[in-house]
Amino acid sequence: MRVGLISDTHGLLRPQALDFLRGSAHILHAGDVTGPDILERLGELAPVSAVRGNNDRGAWAAGLPHALRLELGGVGVYMVHDLKELDIDPAAAGVRVVVAGHSHKPSCVERAGVLYVNPGSAGRRRFTLPISVGELLIEDAQVRVRIVTLELD
């Protein structure tokens, strides 16, 4: 199962991000969407689950949860925009992957058997940080993570 990861689009959905996410069985958006049209366009590719980021305001964002627990390919996944707001003990809760955004810094770190993944920012560039997206590749309850820096024209 291929799960696309995107975060911090801030109202900008680049064609390169769409190309990367095409073929995903599910897409996770880790917040700071800043507009419903982004989720609609992602939804044309695959089912989308999203959480509310600190910049997601207004009536359209009211339906986005602060955090979300999913089971994807037999793997427990928990998503929150800002890792500092993680309100569970993932390992104790049976979560294998925590997906977060907010920092705009792509990363993947394993601690106590839990993968903490930040796909980085796919929206407007912040400082000198890369524009990136990611994916979870789940097979037989095993997870591999890949984060990709997008090539921009």
pLDDT score for 128: 86
Query: Would strands 26-29 and 2-6 be described as parallel, antiparallel, or unpaired?
Result: parallel
Any idea where the domains of the chain sit in the sequence?
2-149
pLDDT score for 127: 81
Q: What is the pLDDT of residues 80-107, one digit of tens each?
A: 999 999 999 999 999 999 999 999 999 9
Q: How confident is the model at residue 141 (pLDDT cuts 50, 70, 90)?
A: confident
**Is residue 114 within 8 Å of residue 65, measured between CB atoms?**
no
Name every residue whose Cβ is closer than 8 Å to that of residue 108 and which is 6 or more positions away in sequence.
Answer: 115, 116, 117, 118, 134, 145, 147
52 has pLDDT over 80: yes
Could you tell me which residues are beta bridge partners of residue 144? 137
Which one of 3.40.1410.10, 3.40.50.300, 3.40.50.1980, 3.60.21.10 gives the CATH number of domain 2-149? 3.60.21.10
Structure tokens at 53: 């980021």
